[in-house]
Amino acid sequence: MGMSIDNSAARRNAWSSYWANGALHSCAGSFAGNYAGAIADFWRPLFERLQPGDRMLDIATGNGALPMLAWEQSRLEGDISIDAVDLAAVAPAWHDPGEHAAIRFHPGVPMERLPFPGQSFDLVVSQYGLEYGQWPEALRECLRVCGASGTAAFILHHAGSVLVKVGRCELDNQRLLLAPDGLVQAAREVLPWADLARSGGIGPAQEGEARRCKDAYNLAMRQVGESIEAGGVPDLLLEARTWIHALVFGSGGSNAASRLSRLDAYRDALLTAMVRTDEMVSHALQEQALGDMVATLRQIRPRADVSCRVIEQSEGVLGWGVVVAS
């Protein structure tokens, strides 16, 4: 299962753009405790067991939250070596080559083809990343580079987690905004008329089309308002409603062309976000898929102890935790 590496261009671009904006984890804006609470409790004992001279590999690292967490919790500073790979173009702003010389990032690396010799690492980890890969290739690569006495540990998206539930709501909201009759397109059509109305430049022959565009915009606004009132996860809709309305009807000295350009950039960002959100929702693992993964790991490394559990806290389920220990 997983996305074929041959169809990864849109995915790579979407995530590269996202990480370039500085997000530390893959669910920014969705769940504040992504690397705290129960998730930190999962990683803490693994990172605290790292010894001077050990090597760790983080797969699908994003902006390096796990390398940073490992470096902080191990308290070993430069005594451990951490490599971190990602298919996307990643260059975390927090990473100081002088202070974090033992942490090396490798962008543009598919997890199905890791550029490391066999048994190179004492600990191989991944946080909300391994499920996006192509199986069993990615699983084989993880265990190929993991030492015979090493440990591999993964946190994966759970199909019933609060993160995925939020993702489904956000995907619905993104689709609502980007629909052919949605708020973004309606704003694009009404914006030039709003400028002409302010200047008194709408002639009698244009009034019908201007009214049609304004009615379509008002309808799209009502649809957004109804979705906000329905509950769920309204943050994106609240932000979009406020920002778009100010852009359309509050020129702030900008001409229509400049504001249309900003609206187009916003649309493109939403489209990119949809790629990421849809990928998270579609790759979250049901229990049967997790069972298939565990069976594959046991087949690849038959003498290892493969354990899995649900990771949850007060907010609900956060993911699956899997540990492969020799």
Q: Could you count the other beta carbons within 10 Å of the beta carbon of residue 57? A: 26
Tell me how far apart the alpha carbons of residues 152 and 72 are, in angstroms, rounded to a whole number: 20
Q: Name the residue ranges covered by the structural domains of the chain.
A: 5-161+284-325, 164-279
Tell me how far apart the alpha carbons of residues 322 and 152 are, in angstroms, rounded to a whole number: 8
pLDDT of residue 250: 79
Instruction: Kindly state the helix (H) or strand (E) to which residue 215 belongs, with its residue range.
Output: helix 207-229
pLDDT at 33 over 90: no
pLDDT of residue 29: 39
Q: How far is CA 87 from the centre of its chain?
A: 13
For 2-30, write each residue's pLDDT tens digit: 333 334 555 545 444 443 444 333 343 33
Tell me how far apart the alpha carbons of residues 321 and 160 are, in angstroms, rounded to a whole number: 14
pLDDT of residue 49: 87
pLDDT of residue 8: 54
pLDDT at 220 over 90: yes
Lowest mean pLDDT among 12-21, 158-167, 207-216: 12-21
pLDDT of residue 110: 93
pLDDT at 75 over 90: no
pLDDT of residue 52: 85
pLDDT at 96 over 90: no
Task: Report the CATH number of the 5-161+284-325 domain.
Answer: 3.40.50.150
Among 128, 95, 132, which residue's Cα sits nearest to residue 110? 132
pLDDT of residue 38: 92
Tell me how far apart the alpha carbons of residues 230 and 41 are, in angstroms, rounded to a whole number: 35
Model's pTM, two decimal places?
Answer: 0.80
Q: Mean pLDDT over residues 184-200, rounded?
A: 90
DSSP letter (8 states) at residue 77 = G
- The order of strands in the sheet holding 146-156 is 103-107, 81-86, 55-59, 121-127, 146-156, 316-325, 305-313
pLDDT of residue 315: 87
